[in-house]
Chain A
Amino acid sequence: MKTFLVRRLGFALVTMFAVLTIIFMIVRVLPGDPAMVILGDQADAAAIAALRARLGLDQPLLVQYLGFLGGALRGDWGVSLVTGRPVVQDVLDVLPWTIELTVSALLIGSVIGIPLGVWAAINRNSMIDYMIRMVSLLGLSLPAFVSGIMLLIGLAIQLRWFPVISGNRSNLSSWALSLALPAINLGLIMAAYITRVTRSAMLEVLSEDYVRTARAKGAPWRVVVWRHALRNALIPIITIVGLYLGVLIGNSVLTEIVFNRPGLGKLIVGALNQRDYTMLQGMMVIYTMLVVGINLATDLVYGAADPRVKMS
């Protein structure tokens, strides 16, 4: 277990280091001087030089690189060129919005996806299975902004059940109402993924010998499915859902734009549109940390749950 832990941690650190280096290179090596891009073609040389100095671009590349690495590790990602506030501060301001959205989407996805996946698996190749597979495939095919717009048109504009613009969090009910549509949107897409993963994991487990043994011993089918089989199927489900968190993060960007919700996604798109280089660089560092962190956590959960993983 110790070797496994050390190896995974080492790999996470190497990954982090590699991605930070790539981010540094992307921002500096790509054509175009960031200072010139920010100020435009018409800017005079003095202004460009001043901005270059402010961004630290006039220093030797190695100094810039070490400064960037050191800053990234200390949590100092510079100051936004647009708001003038530390990047960390801007990120921390919107982080709760993104977290509440993704966590509720994961919850909705699991509550819908796991029972549907189990139901499809125990009715393998029946009409129910077929329908569930088609619906989940349809869910996978929907880009998050298309489903978001459909929900907006149907539930907010036509039926007026939800506010068109979310963001009012003055009291509990308006908070829940403003979170509901974005969370349902992201949750339904997540449900489609979780349904499919659960179904195939359950099919695998249901064919195992211990399931047959449990049945032979007279355990009720329901107990066998929900207690014996699902418990074992949960391990691969958690792992694969961990891998899909990248999809979830990508879809949250689109959801935040459609529902005009603050969050990391809106922050990164704003930074792109306004050419806020330091913000962009900081956001890339955060996404990298998120992704590497989630992967590490998934690996560790898997390693803790399945002793065979540690052997490999």
Chain B
Amino acid sequence: MTAVPTTRTPGARVLSATIRAFNTNKTSWIGLGVFLLVVVLAVLAPWISPHDPLEQDIFNKLASPSSKYWLGTDYLGRDILSRLLHGARYSLVIGIVATFMAMIIGSIIGILAGYYGGRFDLFTMQVMDILLAFPSLILGLIIVAMLGPSLTNIIIAIALTSIPSFARIARAPTIAVKEREFIEAGRSLGYSDARLMSVHILPNITAEILVMFSLWTASSIRTEASLAFIGLGLKPPIPTWGGMIRDGFENILDSYWLALTPGVAILIIVFALNLLGDGLRDAIDPKLKGEQ
């Protein structure tokens, strides 16, 4: 190697490593592209939606797709496409915020447990294992039912169900990294535990955590839609994809596209995020892909 990498800033190094990871598995680019497209559509929803998502056209209830209503209308005569675009905002906000919260809390727990080890590690990880063992949908269901289905409570419930996975993912590499020489060197220089964990260990485990972030955002979006389908989502008339499927399911015999279109929307976003995360995981852990 020439001296080039050493003259680069850490930011540039991370960027080039990320691009390399994406190039290892081209499907990650597709996943990222589709995900960003959905994000852009969701952000622009108020401006690009052909209709108001709450506006009812009582003369056009349960209308089939047409030039006026591209994806048809629901049982109240509301435009499906507009509701789909606005619904994306809720799905994305809940999915991303809940997973982000879980990532921060779970990573802190995992790094602390891995770094300090001993009884603290044993106890925390047993608690995490108990939570991990519980079916996340059932856990989310109970928490939302108890707290009430508000935006904050749904986010809290979904975040709680994903914290243990992040704790597990952060703990394993922490244990490996803390034995390395540079941590030993830092310790002998008198660096505090907090500094060692945040400045020296965290950057070394970021890749694993970010891959998990993408996979778990997919899972969170799926859980939110499932909760809404069961009837524990945001209250009507807020358009959520799971709620739209629930409404559409009532009319499945004669207007099946009402349930089908939001279903396909969920599939597209979850698949895109899984493609992204799966491709990146292959890149950072070639063993999983079977290259070794």
Binds B, one of A80-88, A105-113, A143-151: A143-151
The B interface is mostly helix, strand or loop, or mixed, namely: helix
> In the complex, A253→B129 CA distance in Å?
22
Determine whether the beta carbon of A124 is less than 8 Å from that of B133.
Answer: no
Comparing B42-50, B104-112, B200-208, B268-276, the segment that makes contact with chain A is B268-276
**Is the Cβ of B271 less than 8 Å from the Cβ of A138?**
yes
Report B-chain residues with C-beta under 8 Å of the C-beta of A288.
Answer: 134
Name the residue in A143, A157, A199 with the highest tally of chain B Cβ atoms < 10 Å from its Cβ.
A143
User: B105: shortest Cβ distance to chain A, in Å?
Assistant: 18
Binds A, one of B69-77, B95-103, B140-148, B177-185: B140-148
Cβ-defined contact, B126 with A254, below 8 A: no
Contact of A15 among B130, B145, B252 (CB under 8 A): B130
Interface size on A, residues (CB 8 A): 50
Report the minimal beta-carbon distance from A210 to chain B, rounded to whole angstroms: 18
Question: Does chain A have a CB within 8 A of B116?
Answer: no
Which listed segment binds B: A92-100, A180-188, A242-250?
A242-250
Cβ contact within 8 Å between A30 and B260: no
Cβ of A109 to closest chain B Cβ, rounded Å: 17
**Contacting chain B: which of A224-232, A266-274, A303-311?**
A266-274
* Cβ B135 vs Cβ A291 within 8 A: yes
Option from A26, A121, A253, A273 in Cβ contact (under 8 Å) with B146: A26
**Contact-residue bracket for chain B:** 35 or more
Neighbouring A residues of B263 by C-beta, 8 Å = 143, 146, 149-150
Bound-state Cα–Cα, A32 to B253, Å: 40
**Contact indicator B146/A145 (Cβ below 8 Å):** no
Shortest distance from the beta carbon of A299 to any chain B beta carbon, whole Å? 11
Is the pair A137, B274 in contact by a Cβ cutoff of 8 Å? Answer: yes
When the two chains form their complex, are residues B267 and A287 in contact, meaning their CB atoms are under 8 A apart? no
Within the complex, which residue of A14, A15, A200, A272 is in contact with B141, where a contact is CB–CB below 8 Å? A272
A125 to B291, CA, bound (A): 9
Give B259 Cβ to nearest chain A Cβ, in Å: 5
**B127 — nearest CB in chain A belongs to which residue?**
A18
Q: Give the residues in chain A near B267, CB-CB below 8 Å.
A: 138, 141-142, 146
Distance between A141 CB and nearest chain B CB, rounded to angstroms? 4
Q: Say if the beta carbon of A312 comes within 8 Å of chain B.
A: no
Min CB distance B284 to A, Å, is 15
Using A18-B130, A143-B225 as known contacts, say yes or no to A254 and B137 having CB atoms under 8 A apart. yes
Q: Which of B238-281 contact A (CB under 8 A)?
A: 245, 249, 252-253, 256, 259-260, 263, 266-267, 270-271, 274-275, 278
Q: Which residues of A contact B288 (CB under 8 A)?
A: 200
Verify A145–B147 contact, CB threshold 8 A: no
Identify the closest chain B residue to A200 (Cβ). Answer: B288
Tell yes or no: A9 within 8 A of B by CB.
Answer: no
**A250-B138 contact, Cβ under 8 Å, with A137-B275, A143-B222, A152-B252:** yes
Contact residues, B132-182 vs A (CB, 8 A): 133-138, 141-142, 145-147
Instruction: Tell whether, in the assembled complex, residue A295 and residue B275 are in contact, meaning their CB atoms are under 8 Å apart.
Output: no
Give the shortest distance, in Å, between B255 (CB) and chain A (any CB): 11
Contact partner of A157 (CB less than 8 A), chosen from B142, B222, B253, B278, is B253
Q: Please, what's the 1-or-0 string for B63-98, where 1 marks a CB less than 8 Å from any CB in chain A?
A: 000000000000000000000000000000000000
Minimum CB distance partner of A22 in chain B: B130
Residues of B within 8 A of A235 (CB): none
Q: How far is the CA of A191 from the CA of B7 in the complex (A)?
A: 49
Binds A, one of B14-22, B54-62, B187-195, B226-234: B226-234
A207 engages B260 (CB within 8 Å) = no
15 A-B pairs, CB-CB below 8 angstroms? A137-B274, A142-B267, A143-B226, A145-B229, A149-B249, A149-B263, A153-B252, A207-B292, A246-B133, A250-B138, A250-B226, A251-B137, A272-B145, A280-B142, A288-B134
Beyond the given pairs A250-B135, A258-B249, A272-B142, 4 more chain A to chain B contacts, judged by CB atoms under 8 angstroms and listed by A's residue number, are: A138-B271, A146-B263, A247-B135, A295-B133
